[in-house]
Structure 1
Amino acid sequence: MKNNRYRIANREALMGIGLVIVNFAIWYGFAYGLGSGDPEKYTYVLGFPAWFFYSCIAGTVFMIILIYFVIKFFFKEVDFEEEE
């Protein structure tokens, strides 16, 4: 059982790293993709520059939903008590 717990923990840690990479890619892509132009030509969403809205607000909402589904469907309950 001990090896199984480490295998599960390793898999879940790798999923966590994957989520961080997805979050960074979304943030970087929108922030520098939409925000690298002339500020006078920015478009706005709900009063925020589009790059900020999509990278910080919409990206955060998307990541919260994605993390919820990953935890709900891929993470497992693991007993940390030592068996004798």
Structure 2
Amino acid sequence: MKKGTDWRYRVSNREAIMGTVLAILNFIWWYAFAYGLGGRPIKEYTYIFGFPAWFFYSCIMGFVVFTILVWIMVKFFFKEVPFELDETSDKEEGDAQ
């Protein structure tokens, strides 16, 4: 079976792209809040639950938001893909050769 003919490769490539995009968005979120809010003098910091706002939004809220996004992505967009080869398609390929 060639790589391009198996439907599982298309599914895995799509899911890998989705995961990579989510990881890049997570980094952008973290960087924007950590350096955007954390780049001020310490006397100007605001605090949320005792944490500096930059830390709360970048690390705590970022973790919560992206954990929910991963759950949504896995629950609704990822597909169950069997690892075993389909015996009927193997027989058809063997007959064609």
What TM-score comes out, normalization by structure 2 length? 0.83
Counterpart for residue 71 of structure 2: 68
Residue 12 of structure 2 is aligned to residue 9 of structure 1: yes
Moved over 4 A (4+): none
Structure 1 residue 71 displacement after superposition: 0.6
**TM-score for both structures, normalised by structure 1:** 0.96
Identity of aligned residues (%): 60
The one-letter amino acid paired with 1:4 is W
Instruction: Name 2:26's counterpart in structure 1.
Output: 23
The match for 2:49 among 46, 50, 59 is 46
Equivalent position of 2:92 in the other structure:
none
Match of 1:32 in 2: 35
Higher mean C-alpha deviation, range 1-10 or range 56-65:
1-10
Q: Which runs of 5+ in 2 are unaligned?
A: 88-97
Q: Counterpart in 1 of 2:94?
A: none
Shift in Å at residue 40 of structure 1?
1.0
Structure ID, larger Rg = 2
Please give the root-mean-square deviation of Cα atoms over the aligned residues, in Å: 1.3
Q: How far 1:52 moved relative to its partner? A: 0.1
1:78 alignment partner, SS class: coil
Work out the CA distance in 2 between the residues paired with 1:46 and 1:3. Answer: 51
Unaligned runs of 5+ in 1: none
Counterpart-to-counterpart distance in 1, 2:62 and 2:19: 16
- The Cα shift of 1:70 comes to 0.6
* Counterpart Cα distance in 1 of 2:79 and 2:30: 28
